Amino acid sequence: YLIRSQGEEWYKQRTVVSKKMLKLGEVSNFSTEMGEVSDDFVSRLGKIRDVNGEVPKLERELFKWAMESIGTFIFEERIGCLGDQPSSMAQSFIENMEGFFKTLQPLLYNLPFYKLWKTQLWQEFESYSDNIMEIGHHMVEKVRLYWVFAVIIYTSTATTWCLYLLAKHPEVQERLLSEINAAADKNGDVAADVLCRLPLVKGVVKETLRMYPITYSTSRNMTEDTEIGGYNVPAGTHVQANLYGMYHDPALFPEPESFRPERWLRENSGDMDPTVKAMSNLVWGHGARMCIGRRVAEQEMHITLSKIVQKFKLSYEHDDVEPVLNTMMTPDRPLRVKLTPRF
């Protein structure tokens, strides 16, 4: 598989997949289909709000949206996740994906007793993994599956954090709404050509991933002796960069605990060192190993966030949400954002 392979095997697979996945023009061709999924998702949010205007199990709804949206690009068809009664296959896929990432985190970082005997946690992880692969092969036979799983969970989790921060900062919401309305076509649609005129939308996503980097670290195995910060790091050493620490360092990002998406706008480019600004991309990896699904995930988020802000005013009236690690950086509690229709 692309994510796990190395050397020549990795290069061959990466070369084939990147021709479609990393070319902006290829991804933009599916903006209409992704927009239709976003329209259906926004309509569903309006229908399933409770008496307080909040969406029960919002994280799961976002997961279903991300899965449906990626399907238009990878499978070139709708999967059926957004109906009142999702298909049993889609529902099973969602439940097993949630279990997969929940069990993966302790297996990665706790003592590896599972190498000595099959612990209960390992057996659960194994079951989730087997179920995901079986369902995935029913959905598509010729696509490597692991990166698809990663894009779905990454996109839905990142969008969860975006909605939380926008709900906490109504002034940013209003600026965002003004930008979207000015750029949208006469029907209010956010098509591919509109996205290039939404710098604040893109700034919201970048600032969200700075404050809550879903991939909270990035790593490399050193292929040669290297000096880093005055320290000699020998070849073969596994090195991890602490993205959360860097992104919350006031020496690099002034007022790091403040949500300031405008820091990423071109007119403010002089306020940030170019090297520091480039670090925002590390949440997607770097260089030849950059996340293969980055363009798809960004386009999904830009379109859907725009449509949600067009339709609803977001607010949050509960205790602050804190990040926890469940393989990715996720909220520590269900997100209860209030959605108030604008019209």
Strand pairing class (337-341; 323-326): unpaired
Name, in order, each residue with C-beta under 8 angstroms of 60's C-beta and a sequence gap of 6 or more.
94, 98
Indicate left, alpha or beta for 242 from its phi (over 0: left) and psi (-120 to 50: alpha).
beta
Residue 47 is assigned to a structural domain of this protein: yes
Say what the pTM is: 0.83
Cα distance between residue 150 and residue 285, in whole Å: 13
Q: What's the pLDDT at 146?
A: 54
Q: What is the CATH number of the domain that holds 149?
A: 1.10.630.10
Residue 306 is assigned to a structural domain of this protein: yes
Q: What's the pLDDT at 78?
A: 76
DSSP 190: -
pLDDT per residue of the chain (343 residues) written in tens, 0 to 9: 444 445 565 555 555 455 555 555 566 666 778 888 999 999 999 999 999 999 999 998 998 898 888 877 776 667 777 877 767 777 787 788 788 878 887 888 788 898 899 999 999 999 988 887 777 666 554 445 555 667 788 899 999 999 999 999 999 999 999 999 898 876 767 777 788 889 999 999 999 999 999 887 788 888 899 998 899 999 999 888 888 999 999 999 999 999 999 999 887 766 777 778 777 778 877 766 677 677 888 889 999 999 999 999 999 999 999 998 877 889 999 999 999 999 8
Residue 127 is assigned to a structural domain of this protein: yes
What residue has token string 């190498």?
115
- Runs of H (alpha helix) within 75-220: 88-109, 120-139, 146-168, 170-183, 192-195, 199-211
Name, in order, each residue with C-beta under 8 angstroms of 310's C-beta and a sequence gap of 6 or more.
177, 180, 181, 184, 188, 190, 342
Residue 258 is assigned to a structural domain of this protein: no
Cα distance between residue 146 and residue 289, in whole Å: 15
Helices H / strands E in the chain, number of each: 13, 8
Q: Which of 239, 165, 244 is nearest to 208 (CA)?
A: 165
Indicate left, alpha or beta for 255 from its phi (over 0: left) and psi (-120 to 50: alpha).
left
Instruction: Tally the domains of the chain.
Output: 1
Residue 119 is assigned to a structural domain of this protein: yes
DSSP 233-246: E-TT-EEEEEHHHH
Cα distance between residue 181 and residue 5, in whole Å: 44
Which tokens hold the place of 342?
A: 């604008």
Q: What's the pLDDT at 276?
A: 80
Query: 39: domain range?
Result: 7-215+291-341
Residue 265 is assigned to a structural domain of this protein: no
Three-class SS state of 109:
helix
Residue 263 is assigned to a structural domain of this protein: no
DSSP 178-189: HHHHHHS-TT--
Q: Which of 179, 172, 136, 151 is nearest to 65 (CA)?
A: 151
Residue 241 is assigned to a structural domain of this protein: no
DSSP 273: -
